[in-house]
Structure 1
Amino acid sequence: MGTRYLESLFNPASIVIVGASERADNLGGMVLRNIMGGGYPGRLLVINEHDYENVHGVPCIRRISQMDFSPSLAIICTPPDTVPKLIRKLGKAGVRTAIVMTGGMSRAHSKTGQPLMYSVRDAARETGVRVLGPNTIGLMVPGRSLNATYAHMGVIPGKVAFIGQSGTVASSLIDWAFARGVGFSYFLTLGDGMDIDHDDLIDYLAQDSHTRAILLHIENIPNTRRFMSAVRVASRTKPVIAVKSGRVPESEWFPYALPAGISRSDPIFDAMLQRGGVLRVDGLDQMFDALETLTRMRPLRKESLAIMANGVGPGVLAVDRLAALGGELAELAPKTIDALAEHLPPYWTRKNPIDLNYDACPELYANAIRILARDPGVANVLVLYAPSLTEDSLQIADSVVQAVKGTRLNVFTCWLGQSTVMDARDEFYRAGLPSFFSPEKAVKAFMQHVNHQRVQRLLKETPESFTDHFADRTHTRKLVLNALRAKRLHLTSEEAREVIRDYGIKTVETQYCDDVEGVLEVFAVERRPINITLVHELSCHPFMEHKKGGSGYRTTIQGLNSESAILDSCKILMDEYRHSYPDSGFLGFAVQHTYQHVGGIEFSVGITRDATFGPLVVCGAAGAHINVISDRQIALPPLNMVLARELLKRTYMYKLLKEFSLRPEEDIRAIGETLVTLSQIVIDIPEIKGLEILPLLFNDEGAVAVEVAIDLSTKPGRPIIQPYPRELEEWIVLPKSGRRVILRAARAEDEPAHRVFHELQSPESIRYRFFQYRKHFSREDVAQMVQIDYDREMVFVANAPRENGEGEETLGTVRVWTDADNLRCEFAVMVHDKMKGEGLGMTLMQKMIDYCRSRGTVEMVGNVLHDNRPMLKLAERLGFEVTFNREEEVMDLRLVLNEPEKAWQRERLKFVPD
């Protein structure tokens, strides 16, 4: 639904509470008391069918029709069966947002038999009212003195937003956060989430300047595409940390229908959050630890860690935890070791972790930090201290704080103990240094920082929508469409092989025989050892290994070099087939020469489709003695080589490949290319529901597929992440200079050229674009300009080959930011000073206008400085309406792209028909 009317929810000018009374256990009364106790400054009104003059001093009326104004927000605390009708009446009275705190609506049913929460959803859609809930704890906005909850206590103001789903979890979190001094900009729960959902709130918070980090408690995600789009935008600018409950089937609140080949739903959520740039943690305690490091530590220059402590024990505990989490110790330079040796006993270990000895004084801690700061191989330092009779913990803490100032180090601390070290921890808190109670928690929090930066790097990857190698998509589509016309929801083994061969994946040469006599004829031609696989109807479907009847079923016999062995093997295969799959029609035998491929390390790779998450790429182990499903890892398409390698590295088979392959790097690249290709197949041919290569082996030419199976669906499956839109690329020739220029969407690798483009612009051009003079653009500034999600934001660049032949240069750029409802987009355009008079600005703007119009965006807007004559002239030529904004002292530009169809769209845009 987007951010429509959410400002009324978060910053209401007036509130009406429906169902409040002065009874101690009355839900509405609790909410009203919290609102009043929080110091809410707006107008309040109570509606109660009983004839009260006021409730807790707030005026009370009996009916909605008696309201003499339209409140910004309604809070409903009445019995379940009354809520849908109340939503309709409030909508007719002009109320735009409502919080439904009533619980039990998932179990209470309407006259139609559906749960009442769906009746609430339908009423909201009919009237345009935005609804938070039902069954929500409510909403707190401390910065606006709003506590519209029934919680036992309020939260302190801060810069962190929390979006939860469970009211009881949220209640405990309030206590927890207060004890740790964590303040909130917004605090709310979704409850049943019938209207307002995670993605709507994330969209709002991504643009909120009062929010520095977003915490999520997730039980389920109804609209994964919108969630992914929203969270990818938000996580580019602020940390997003999530706890996902329901990790095992026994704890899932809603039964989850698993896709073929997947045994648990949790890895799917894990893959989604990872691609969304979200740091996933295992619990609420870890959430706050991660928040501590992400908001108080600088970005990590390196992922290794140096550890120092006043004793061996704490350091060893920290190293153990670091190794268990896949971290690495920093290697100390020889100069660093020699410098430390001047201050430490002669028997110290001369390595990381650094034992400062039990009697380490404040000066020794400070000197050790300063020495480590001079080591280019050290970027992160964990400082540990165990209480000592000889030294004061607060003095040592102060020395650490002073030593850290002015260094480039990321320092975090762990003062072990409780009663005697609390003052030291407070000192670290005031200095902005993260501090933890145990070495294990400190290292875990550090590794969460490492993992966050890893997922941020994956977030910046921009896979393309077309592969580089030639693929015969026409032939593949013909195969698929012919099968669907024949009402077949799978391809034959021969057809499946043709599909992957069309996309450049090599297959083992295979001949298909109707019976045993045909197998003998194949063997008689060359008299070489062969492998025989029995083919039946169900074997043409992917991911059969986990289905009923497949356990222990023998499909292939290898290395047959005599007619008698072939006859015996065919009989064995037929007997096992009849026992395991008696109802599956026999289709014949597949024959392959044994030495076409190199055996040993076998992979299972493919595509499956989830009803919620769409297509998924899977990769893992294969082989008769391997639990295929247990090693199966998941990624969301589209993939590029970086993302494919990350998927591969999560498998157990990757370790075997690195250790036992004769050509590990070549084989890793080959399987990565296969995964990227599979990702592209499902984007090009969305009717493919499932595809499995089992096994994928390696020969001298790279990866080779042995068996292939493909399932189809009449309903296309679309990935929830937008690929790089290569189809929007076009070449033009500039009329004045004759230069060939490519117009295309921006990619992450455009960052160097984009930075040079901005640095070469005149001060006046920079002022026209950014409304101020800017002399410098950091790498991070420019990276955010080109690392975009191709859903909410689009950037077209005009690039041309450099005159010296080294790479491309950027000659112009145009971008739009589109709101979550796809109603309005805001544009910005800039052309290189040397391109004036080439018409490049007009070309870029027209390309963007056409693109936004094709997406159904209603209008395009922009702001231009009043003295920017060239842009104003261009806007008039393009048909923009130009008006002067006296408040901002800029020219407002507006262009209608499509006619708004709904009343709320016209109201939102303040659209006035001609």
Structure 2
Amino acid sequence: MSTRYLESLFNPASIAVIGASERADNLGGMVLRNLMGGGYPGRLLVVNQNDYDNVHGVPCVKKVSKMEFSPDLAIICTPPDTVAKTIKRLGEAGVRTAIVMTGGMSRTHSKTGQPLMYSVREAARETGIRVLGPNTIGLMVPARSLNATYAHMGAIPGRVAFVGQSGTIASSVIDWAFARGVGFSYFLTLGDGMDIDHDDLIDYLAQDTQTRAILLHIENIPNARRFMSAVRVASRTKPVIAVKSGRVPESEWFPHDLPDGLKRSDPIYDAMLQRAGVLRVDGLGQMFDALETLTRMRPLRRETLAIMANGVGPGVLAVDRLADLGGELAELSKSSIENLAELLPPYWTRKNPIDLNYDASPELYGQAIKILAKDPEVANVLVMYAPSLTEDSLQIADAVVQASKGTRLNVFTCWLGQSTVMDAREEFYRAGLPSFFNPEKAVMAFMQHVRHQRVQRLLTETPESFTDHFADRTHTRHVVNRALRAGRYHLSNREARDLVRDYGISTIETMYCDDMEEVLEVFAVERRPIDITIIHEQACHPFLDLSPTQRRYKGTVQKLNSEAAIMDSCRYLMEEYKSHFPESGFLGFAVQRSYQHVGGIEFSVGITRDALFGPLVVCGAAGAQINVMTDRQIALPPLNMVLARELLRRTYMYKLLKEHSLKPEEDIRAVSETLVTLSQIVIDIPEIKGLEISPLLFNEQGAVAVNIAINLADKPGRPIIQPYPRELEEWIVLPKSGRRVIIRPVLAEDEPAHRAFHELQSPESIRYRFFQYRKHFSREDVAQMVQIDYDREMVFIANAPREDGEGEETLGTVRTWTDADNLQCEFAVMVHDKMKGEGLGVALMQKMIDYCRARGTVEMVGNVLPDNRPMLQLAEHLGFEIKFNTEEEVMDLRLVLNEPEKDWQRERLGKIAH
């Protein structure tokens, strides 16, 4: 990912259009006319192999080599077989960015048989030019009068960025947005995305102060890890709303092989976008409805909704839709009901939704809103109006706007109808109140706000500490390595059981028998009911779910209490196995005592691996009577307890567990702990391709795994979210006190100790660190500090056992924020007041310097208050260059970590320095 040269793309001082002519249907000519019609203020040039003096009055040259200047941006509209050569010549001529509008390059092939679009990528990499496209509609930056597209109309200036993949979809978005008064800071499509991709643009837009929200239309994501890293950063600072098309296999433009255990790829995108803090919507209409509420409404204090209308019908429609989407009505306080009763007819229902009656006046609407504003149970109000003969819709709209001012309510409106209410909707738009055409759309938009706030909350939740990140699992790895060395891509049933038990997952006591005679011998010893499972090579692989239309494979028979029943069952299991898996080698029987567990609620949990998205944690129902695929939910590792509970909450089995378990909270925690453990297993042992526990049941001690299957792969699978980097842990001994301290990356679970560390600091230390005095740090403040993306940010903390023996305390911390191009990292460091003079600041800074240097970062920079002598002395000791910044009145610190290797790096750093 890189924002290299993107400033030249978005703010070019000069543009060359390659292939433009004055023919009406010429693509380059359309683009040139849009540039000129939009009032582009920069220098224009046309390149056309025909010997024109000018095109539409713009000077024209015959070849790229004849250009009198090197433009910041070139727009290529030439035939497919000429594009790669043109890109190479432009790059050699010093052009930094290009937009390739030529289409069909994914379906036109070179002599080698490779689609021509890949030759564009090779030419771009060879010369360093950045390329948007091929097959893109182009780019608009309305505030800079830049319309470098072939679109039928321009966009109006605004604070929303749109990044799409389809030109035809983009054209409709422009039209749609214009009609709704939505303006754009940037508007573009990626096309085939051979160079500039979603992650590059999201990185740029996340830092752009003119962009308040980002809209994404996604067809495919070529590099899931880069996308995930970029969008997680962006979604923390501004709303990101996405439409992902290709939800079913029949509509996927770029289908890929599905991982074991899944029937569709769409749930993977759902899980990824939710984990990134992105609001996913089902279409363009929902995208703009969600944009209305996310940008015009305050954060939600509550997730319940109050509804008022001048009639019963609209309120009923709204309540129905709210219930469908899992929303809840606000419960009106006794005081609100009494106050409203004084204004409404005697037959009023005295509950939410509030029927104001068909003849409701502007005064009544205003009074009702003011009553609700005093109700502590009400935070969000949907105000609806249906046209009537008795009242004027615009006057009522004005009353709603005036009554809403200065209240703590989130008010949004629905004025039903069309011709007679348009002026009222315009009034709401000017006042900044979201307004919708019908109750269903209004409620959907509100619930999208609720969903967005929920996924944002997941980014800042403080998880419970559960997984032991520091345990030694070396012997478990030996089991996997031994199997791979033997050319075996699965673990035996016994090995799989031992592996999960080693990680603390309880398993059923199991005896292994080679044949039916040994099973009978076990029964003779046990003399109690037993369960028998047949084991064969294929059964050692997870996710053997068959299609619901096929006859189910039965591999286990339960509660056998006689020799005759055991012999019949063994023969039956052999017939089942030979019928379904005739090529699979027989490995024996597994025997378990019946009643080792409590039956009933059965879960299927495990790990599977996707070629694009890496390892995935799955959770859902198990059992012979159900189709497990209908309940299988997905999450991305690494997981903590908060994320595991969220994954479990999405399953149907969660509802059964809450309703029918004797100990629902204990069982919910047990399943969540199992999911977190599975997440840790695949991080520790990335050669595991799939792992399935089915069923996971419950006994007096908690969750217990009955059947376990694990298969392996040659190549390790890496999560697309960087997990905790355990290899960076380091123990040191402080020279003065002799205290043993661990320096390690921060964990989300460190939030309580991190907050205590900040709150115990002196006011002066806080001022030196934050450039202001602060007495209080909220939970959200500290959660942002400890919940980091290890790809973009690093925090090392120094922890040691507390002197009173009650857990650990944080003694110091150093953090860096690194830009998307890995050019600069900005640092901040703070050491506990009581540790001054121990050398801990030097140790933390040196640890961070070594880390950033090893990952190739070019420079480390920081700002220090001029009177912070200890920090300035430390910086001087570590070799930082120190200069006084007269504009900011701070000391600028700079340390070269690696020499820049490329011209663009030196140029960017030179601009930053000046």
- Report what 1:142 is aligned to: 142
Distance 1:69 1:503 in 2: 65
Change (3 A) 1:210 1:587: same
Distance 1:910 1:213 in 2: 30
- Deviations 1:75-111 (CA, angstroms, capped at 9, x unpaired): 1110000111111111111111111000000011112
CA contact (8 A) 2:469 2:726 kept: no
Query: After the TM superposition, which residues 130-209 of structure 1 pair with which residues of structure 2 at under 5 Å, given as runs?
Result: 130-209=130-209
1:488 and 2:467 aligned = no
Change (3 A) 1:289 1:209: same
- Report what 2:429 is aligned to: 429
Secondary structure of the structure 2 residue equivalent to 1:596: coil
CA contact (8 A) 1:464 1:723 kept: no
When structure 1 is superposed on structure 2, of 30-39 and 445-454 the one drifting more is: 30-39
- Report what 2:828 is aligned to: 828
- Report what 1:37 is aligned to: 37
CA contact (8 A) 1:472 1:503 kept: no
| Alpha-carbon distance, 1:567 to partner | 1.2
- Report what 2:658 is aligned to: 658
Distance 1:494 1:755 in 2: 45
1:249 and 2:246 aligned = no
- Deviations 1:150-178 (CA, angstroms, capped at 9, x unpaired): 11111000000000000000001000000
Distance 2:514 2:467 in 1: 37
Secondary structure of the structure 2 residue equivalent to 1:531: strand
Distance 1:844 1:420 in 2: 67
Distance 1:211 1:435 in 2: 22
- Report what 2:583 is aligned to: 583
- Report what 1:385 is aligned to: 385
| Alpha-carbon distance, 1:835 to partner | 5.3
When structure 1 is superposed on structure 2, of 604-613 and 650-659 the one drifting more is: 650-659
- Deviations 1:170-215 (CA, angstroms, capped at 9, x unpaired): 0010000000000000000000000000000000000000000000
- Report what 1:859 is aligned to: 859
Distance 1:416 1:89 in 2: 58
1:87 and 2:87 aligned = yes
CA contact (8 A) 1:603 1:697 kept: yes
- Report what 1:280 is aligned to: 280
CA contact (8 A) 2:77 2:101 kept: yes
Change (3 A) 1:401 1:755: farther
- Report what 1:343 is aligned to: 343
Amino acid at match of 1:265: S
| Alpha-carbon distance, 1:417 to partner | 1.2
Amino acid at match of 1:580: H
- Report what 1:878 is aligned to: 878
- Deviations 1:277-332 (CA, angstroms, capped at 9, x unpaired): 00000000000000000001111111111111111111111110000000111111
When structure 1 is superposed on structure 2, of 187-196 and 19-28 the one drifting more is: 19-28
- Deviations 1:242-277 (CA, angstroms, capped at 9, x unpaired): 000000001001122100000000000000000000
CA contact (8 A) 1:102 1:135 kept: yes
| Alpha-carbon distance, 1:828 to partner | 2.5
- Report what 2:400 is aligned to: 400
| Alpha-carbon distance, 1:343 to partner | 1.7
CA contact (8 A) 1:384 1:413 kept: yes
Query: After the TM superposition, which residues 651-730 of structure 1 pair with which residues of structure 2 at under 5 Å, given as runs?
Result: 651-725=651-725, 728=728
CA contact (8 A) 2:199 2:226 kept: yes
- Report what 1:459 is aligned to: 459
- Report what 2:849 is aligned to: 849
Amino acid at match of 1:491: L
Change (3 A) 1:853 1:461: farther
Amino acid at match of 2:817: W
Distance 1:398 1:800 in 2: 62
When structure 1 is superposed on structure 2, of 287-296 and 751-760 the one drifting more is: 751-760
Secondary structure of the structure 2 residue equivalent to 1:481: helix
- Deviations 1:196-242 (CA, angstroms, capped at 9, x unpaired): 00000000000000000000000000000000000000000000000
Distance 2:118 2:811 in 1: 52
Distance 1:651 1:664 in 2: 15
Query: After the TM superposition, which residues 709-858 of structure 1 pair with which residues of structure 2 at under 5 Å, given as runs?
Result: 709-725=709-725, 728=728, 743-748=743-748, 768-770=768-770, 783-798=783-798, 812-831=812-831, 836-858=836-858
- Report what 1:97 is aligned to: 97
CA contact (8 A) 2:548 2:627 kept: no
Change (3 A) 1:84 1:887: farther
CA contact (8 A) 2:466 2:673 kept: no
Change (3 A) 1:54 1:717: same
Amino acid at match of 1:497: R
Distance 1:203 1:488 in 2: 43
| C-alpha RMSD of the superposition | 2.6
Change (3 A) 1:807 1:489: closer
1:225 and 2:225 aligned = yes
| Alpha-carbon distance, 1:774 to partner | 7.1
- Report what 2:291 is aligned to: 291
Distance 1:786 1:870 in 2: 25
Distance 1:773 1:54 in 2: 63
Distance 1:755 1:466 in 2: 20
- Report what 2:57 is aligned to: 57
Distance 2:758 2:523 in 1: 68
| Alpha-carbon distance, 1:881 to partner | 2.7
| Alpha-carbon distance, 1:795 to partner | 2.6
| Alpha-carbon distance, 1:778 to partner | 6.6
- Deviations 1:613-653 (CA, angstroms, capped at 9, x unpaired): 00000011111110011111101011111111111111111
Distance 2:15 2:27 in 1: 16
Distance 1:784 1:525 in 2: 59
Counting aligned pairs with the same residue, the percent is 83
CA contact (8 A) 1:827 1:862 kept: yes
| Alpha-carbon distance, 1:370 to partner | 1.6
| Alpha-carbon distance, 1:419 to partner | 1.5
1:14 and 2:11 aligned = no
Distance 1:504 1:754 in 2: 28
Amino acid at match of 1:659: E
Distance 2:316 2:828 in 1: 55
Distance 1:253 1:429 in 2: 38
| Alpha-carbon distance, 1:785 to partner | 3.8
- Report what 1:503 is aligned to: 503
Distance 1:8 1:729 in 2: 41
Change (3 A) 1:755 1:485: closer
Secondary structure of the structure 2 residue equivalent to 1:187: strand
- Deviations 1:365-408 (CA, angstroms, capped at 9, x unpaired): 22221221222111111111111222222222122112222211
| Alpha-carbon distance, 1:816 to partner | 1.2
1:527 and 2:527 aligned = yes
Distance 1:635 1:415 in 2: 40
Question: TM-score scaled by structure 1?
Answer: 0.95
| Alpha-carbon distance, 1:8 to partner | 0.8
Change (3 A) 1:758 1:308: same
CA contact (8 A) 1:241 1:279 kept: yes
- Report what 1:328 is aligned to: 328
Change (3 A) 1:794 1:517: same
1:3 and 2:3 aligned = yes
* Count of matched residue pairs: 912
- Report what 2:445 is aligned to: 445
1:608 and 2:608 aligned = yes
1:310 and 2:300 aligned = no
When structure 1 is superposed on structure 2, of 657-666 and 12-21 the one drifting more is: 657-666
Amino acid at match of 1:425: R
Secondary structure of the structure 1 residue equivalent to 2:595: helix
Change (3 A) 1:669 1:776: closer
Question: TM-score scaled by structure 2?
Answer: 0.95
1:897 and 2:894 aligned = no
| Alpha-carbon distance, 1:840 to partner | 3.8
- Report what 1:621 is aligned to: 621
CA contact (8 A) 2:49 2:62 kept: yes
Secondary structure of the structure 1 residue equivalent to 2:624: coil
